Structure 1
Amino acid sequence: MGRQLTQVAPGVWTATAEIWTSLTTLVVADDGACLIVDPGITVAEVESLAAEIHARGWRVEAAFATHPHWDHVLWSAQLGDVPRFATPAAVTAQARSRDADLSKADATAPGHDRDLFGRLTALPDDAVAVPWSGPRALVVDHRAHAPGHAALVLPDSGVLVAGDMLSDVEIPLLDVDAADPAGDYRDGLHRLEAAVTRHALTTVIPGHGHVGGPRELARRFVVDRVYLGALRAGLDAADPRLADPWLGEAHEQQLRAVSPD
């Protein structure tokens, strides 16, 4: 099935996958150069993305994986042999979990080229932006949700590409294997909010869910902090996102990991 591209801001387009309402982001320069962020889930979706890019006369120059989870490190040869950047911590984490992640990909979205899976290039340790020729894509790294997670700030378009945070359909999902999962998530929200304020961002693109404007962006910070506060207190959260059974299970796991008891 094809992936319809929707323009959400000047030079910024998204496509939605069938699984988990996953969002791919394209940053497109005036000359047609593209930066792909988290390119999709199924083989058909990733290949359709490549076909759409080619049909529009664009060309892929680079990619960025917001974090090392398997559904964010997929690729197709049709997208080209380009650097697929991620933070150094994300590259290390993906190498460590590669075998398990390949099994997850094979179970949920079979048929991907295993040689291309997770082939990430670490950003330089002092990098503040993705090295490509198009609009600035500033990197905001943190430890919320996964090791080496990072958002991209697109100041020229007023967009925050948030990775797996600030979702309208998913609760905050913590890295429960970290030493301080809730603290890491709280710090991640703080870093993202500081970037929103500093660059006057007005649009949020989550890894899963729907694009939001300025009021929705502000609301998501509030509801995620409310959820996190309840979690840290060991309380059940009255969050409508928990109606999804798998998120309810994730919440119970997080309660066990974070509860003061």
Structure 2
Amino acid sequence: MLKQVADGVWVRQSEWVWSKAVVVRGDTGLVLVDPGIDGADLNQLADDVDALGVPVVAGFSTHPHWDHLLWHSRFGDVPRYATAAGAQVAGEARERAQKMAEESATGIPLELIGLLTPLPADGGPVPGEILEHQAHTIGHAAILLADRGVLLAGDMLSDVLIPLLDPRRPDQLNAYEAALDRLAEASRQVDVVVPGHGAVAEGAEVAGRLAADRAYIEALRRGEEPVDARLEQHDWLSAPHQMNQKQAGHTSG
């Protein structure tokens, strides 16, 4: 079910890696941010949205990984936005995203994956401030809803996922630090952070998420093994952690 975390902001969690779909009320209707993950989730989200009694006017993808590119016909034939870079990458990688979605989930309308257009300069129907950065993947963006006290962080500031470096780009340690600086500045204006995966952070938890991601990145830069509860709790993170270490070894210093 949708859980309201602030005025006009609702969150729904999937069982798949604790993924978060976010519903935001804008001036003209609802904007769905990263809806997913499988067909049952999408249908249940559509039921929840119908119950709000407000039309969906747009979608927004925080970044072009397959699990953030999903859609369902029940949400309507409305524009689906991303940053210009995010929309371009999503279009180029659409077939790969469809294949990954087919392998990882069930009941997804594959033909609707990744049909994104660049967000207009004025934000169009998407409320808030778009904070684009270069961490995690090309075209990643957070949404700062300062008037609601909410930051939608995409695949950053998670309590279950470690920072995941983009393997295609050699400057991810610097990019991550710059992104965390920007998110830290934005976090001073909010009480709630919604990550793409994991639990919603409130109050003092927000600073804790920032500190955990900074400590992880700093350990990679020093060539040390991070002391990170996420690695201790989730064995499946060992492979991406080793990839991060390998990449950091070529870029640190």
- TM-score, normalisation: structure 2: 0.94
Q: Secondary structure at the match of 1:170?
A: coil
Q: How does 1:132-211 map to 2 (within 5 A)?
A: 132=125, 136-197=127-188, 200-211=189-200
Runs of 4+ in structure 1 off by over 6 angstroms are none
Q: Tell me if the contact between 2:187 and 2:206 (Cα under 8 Å) persists in the aligned partners.
A: no
Alignment of 1:26-65 (within 5 A): 26-29=23-26, 33-65=29-61
> How far is the alpha carbon of 1:28 from its aligned partner?
2.0
- AA of the residue aligned to 2:13: T
**Structure 1 stretches lacking a partner, 5+ long:** none
Contact 2:137-2:165 at 8 Å conserved across structures: yes
2:73 is aligned with what amino acid?
Answer: A
Q: Is the contact made by 1:85 and 1:130 (CA closer than 8 Å) also made in structure 2?
A: no
Between the aligned partners of 2:172 and 2:147, the Cα distance in structure 1 is: 33
Backbone CA RMSD of aligned residues: 1.5
| Counterpart Cα distance in 1 of 2:115 and 2:243 | 30
Q: Residues of 1 paired with 2:235 and 2:115: CA distance?
A: 33
Shift of 1:59: 1.1
C-alpha distance in 2 between matches for 1:206 and 1:163: 5
Corresponding position of 2:7? 10
The match for 2:18 is 21
Q: CA deviation at 1:140?
A: 0.2
- Counterparts of 1:55 and 1:222, CA distance in 2: 38
8 Å contact kept, 2:14–2:36:
yes
Q: For 1:122 and 1:29, how far apart are their aligned partners in 2? A: 18
Give the superposition deviation at 1:221.
Answer: 0.8
2:97–2:113 Cα contact (<8 Å) kept: no
Matched, 1:241 2:230: yes
Aligned 8 A contact 1:66 1:72 in 2: yes
**Hey, what's the Cα distance between the residues in 1 that align with 2:118 and 2:27?**
26
1:168 is aligned with what amino acid? Answer: D
SS of structure 1 residue aligned to 2:32: strand
Shift of residue 201, structure 1, vs aligned partner? 1.2
Which amino acid in the other structure matches residue 141 of structure 1? E
Q: Is the 8 A contact 2:72 2:109 kept in 1?
A: yes
Secondary structure of 1:20 counterpart: helix
The amino acid across from 1:209 in the alignment is G
* Contact 2:91–2:116 (Cα < 8 Å) also in 1: no
| Residues 172 and 227 in structure 1, CA contact (< 8 A), matched pair in contact too | yes
Worse overlay, 38-47 or 91-100: 91-100
Q: Sequence identity of aligned pairs in percent?
A: 42
- Residues 129-149 of structure 1, C-alpha deviations (whole Å, 9 max, x = no match): 6311x7x32100001001000
- Matching residue within 207, 211, 214 for 1:218: 207
Give yes or no for contact 2:149–2:190 (8 Å, CA) kept in 1: yes
5+ residue gaps, structure 2: none
Once the two structures are TM-superposed, the CA of residue 195 in structure 1 deviates from its matched residue by 2.0
| 3-state secondary structure, aligned to 2:108 | coil
What is the SS of the residue equivalent to 1:26?
Answer: strand
